[in-house]
């Protein structure tokens, strides 16, 4: 089934550990996004990409890095996790044109202890 | 800077009441505007959109009009149902550059 797949779905880290979240889409979309969702804060844009090999900073990029080496994959990295990065992370990809639509992954629940 | 601001929730209404959720934005240029809905335990779904000034988006009885003069995109529904209980997000897309940002969300609770 076409869509956006995020892995892992859950993860617990200790402060200072690193990890990478993977987002994969098979819809040939150019635009991909990483958001974090926190209570009362809504969805905040971390980084985004407008095509293979490109990345750009969003509203809250500090402490995160991203890569888009292949069009279908958008990776979000935490080099040294902090408790403030405890959140639910959502990846999204966007189709363009008259039938523009945003497709979300199912989310990753990350806890940093 | 560029931002999206929604009215604070939670909003509690009785069934069949009229709903308004305010959304205002600041942006340069001519962004596209969206409303997304998140039902309990689920991801975000597109509810409606408008791509230029004076456009009206509508879906499932919900409506929103892109008002450039007041930089607003308020969500309305004439008669809410219990099944409309969810969190509603206003969003703005910069058509040049592709940046897509969301408001903080407004929780709606509809009581029978």
**pLDDT band at residue A50 under the 50/70/90 scheme:** very high
At residue B52, the 3 state secondary structure works out as coil
Give the integer Cα–Cα distance in Å for A29 and B15: 40
Q: Tell me the mean pLDDT per 10 residues along chain B, length 112.
A: 85 97 91 92 88 94 96 97 96 85 94 96
What is the pLDDT averaged over residues A1-23?
A: 93
Q: How far is A44 from chain B (nearest CA, A)?
A: 7
A103 touches chain B (CB under 8 A): no
Asked which of A27-41, A42-56, A91-105 is least confident by mean pLDDT, the reply is: A91-105
B-chain residues near A92 (CB < 8 A): 100
Q: How far is B57 from chain A (nearest CA, A)?
A: 13
pLDDT for residue A22 is more than 90: yes
A33 touches chain B (CB under 8 A): yes
**pLDDT band at residue A96 under the 50/70/90 scheme:** confident
**Given CA atoms A99, A97, A93, A102 in this order, what sign does their dihedral have?**
negative
User: Which class for B96: exposed (0-12), middle (13-18), buried (19 or more C-beta within 10 A)?
Assistant: exposed
**pLDDT band at residue A1 under the 50/70/90 scheme:** low
**pLDDT band at residue A112 under the 50/70/90 scheme:** very high
B-chain residues near A42 (CB < 8 A): 6, 89, 102-105
**Residue of B99, B103, B105, B106 to mutate when probing chain A, most A C-beta within 10 A:** B99
């Amino acid at each position: 089934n076409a869509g956006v797949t995020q892995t892992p779905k859950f993860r617990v880290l200790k402060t200072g550990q690193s990890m990478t979240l993977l987002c994969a889409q098979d819809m040939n979309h150019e635009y991909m996004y990483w958001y974090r969702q926190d209570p009362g804060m809504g969805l905040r844009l971390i980084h985004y990409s407008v095509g293979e090999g490109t990345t750009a900073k969003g509203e809250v990029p500090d402490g995160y890095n991203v890569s888009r080496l292949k069009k279908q994959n958008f990776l979000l990295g935490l080099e040294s996790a902090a408790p403030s990065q405890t959140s639910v992370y959502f990846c999204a990809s966007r189709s363009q044109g008259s039938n523009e639509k945003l497709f979300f992954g199912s989310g990753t629940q990350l806890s940093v202890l | 800077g560029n931002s999206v601001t929604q009215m604070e929730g939670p909003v509690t209404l009785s069934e069949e009441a009229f709903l308004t959720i305010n959304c205002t934005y600041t942006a340069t240029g001519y962004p596209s505007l969206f409303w997304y809905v998140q039902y309990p335990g689920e991801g975000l779904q597109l509810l409606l959109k408008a791509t230029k000034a004076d456009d009206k988006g509508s879906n499932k009885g919900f409506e929103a009009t892109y008002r450039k003069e007041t930089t607003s995109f308020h969500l309305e529904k004439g008669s809410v149902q219990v099944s409309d209980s969810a969190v509603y997000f206003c969003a703005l897309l910069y058509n040049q550059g592709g940046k897509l940002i969301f408001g903080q969300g407004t929780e709606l609770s509809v009581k029978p």
